[in-house]
Amino acid sequence: MLHAGNGHLAMGDARMDYIVFGRGEKHLIMLPGLGDGLLTVRGKALPFALLYRMYAKHFRVWMFSRKLPLPRGHTTRDMAHDLKAAMDLLGIPKAHIYGVSMGGMIAQYMAIDHPERVDKLVLAVTTPKADPMLKGNLAAWMDMARRGDYAALMTDNMEKMYTEGYLRRNRWALPLTTRVGKPGSFDSFLIQAEACMTHDAQGRMGEITAPTLVLGGAQDHTLDPRGSRQLAQAIRGSHLHLWSDYGHAAYDEAKDFDARILDFLK
C-alpha cells in the first residue's frame, strides 16, 4: 500500500543510498540531519514509510543519505549539487524539499543554486550560518567521535536535542540507544560535522524564491533558535512557526509538526 522501496545510486566512485515510498504525483524529498553520518537510510524504506505515512498519501516521497565515501572538505553546497545529480539520475524534474537541521542547510543551497528544481521549501530547526552554540556542540561531538566514544556522543546529542520532560519520560531507553547503531567508522560523521561547522549561506538567503516554511524550537540547545528568525526575515514571503516549549527535536515532540508541513505543501 505504501509502495516502499530501497535503492542506491552510483556516483563516480561513491554510492548514495535512498528510500522511496508513497503514491502521489508530486515529489517530496526529505533530507535528514547530521545523524546520517552515523547511520544512513539504507534498508529503512518500510519503517520510514510507516512513520511518515501521512505524506505517502499525497506525495512520492524520497529520502536521500549523503554519498559514501565523502571526500574530505565536502561542503553543504557540494551536498546540494550531489542531490541535484541524484534527481537527474532518477528522473525527478522538480520536488518539494524538506530539510531537517543539517538537511536544512543542504536544502538552502539547493534552493539557491538550483531554483528550477525546487517547488516548495521547508527548513526545519536549521540556520543560515553556523552559530557559536552549534560550533561548540559540533566541536565536542567531533572530539567524542575521534575517540570512538559513541555512548558519550549519543548521550550528549539527546541531552541537547530533547526537552527535559521528554528525557525524564524516556531516559530508561538511553542506555539501549547508546549501544545500537555504532558505525564501523566515524569518517562520514566527521566530514559532515565539519560541513555544518563551515556552513554559511547567510548572505544568499535573499536569492531563495521558492515558497518557504521555516520551523524551529525556542528551547533549542543544539543551535541558536534565532537562526530560524534570521531565515524567515531574509527569505521573502516565507512563513515562520516557532514552538515555545520545544527544542531541536520539535519534529519528534510537537504533535502538530507534520500537520503544519503537510498543510503548507498541499
pLDDT 10s digits, 29-67? 999 999 999 999 999 999 999 999 999 999 999 999 999
The pLDDT confidence band at residue 170, using thresholds 50, 70 and 90, is: confident
Q: What's the pLDDT at 182?
A: 87
Q: Is the pLDDT of residue 223 over 70?
A: yes
Helix, strand, or coil (residue 82): helix
Task: Compute the distance between CA of residue 109 and CA of residue 244 in angstroms, rounded to an integer.
Answer: 28
Q: What is the DSSP string of 20-77?
A: EE---SEEEEEE--GGGGTS--TT-HHHHHHHTHHHHTTEEEEEEPPPBSPPTT--HH
Q: Is the pLDDT of residue 1 over 70?
A: no
Q: Is the pLDDT of residue 179 over 80?
A: no
Domains in the chain, please, with CATH? 5-265 (3.40.50.1820)
The whole-model pTM stands at 0.96
pLDDT 10s digits, 85-103? 999 999 999 999 999 999 9
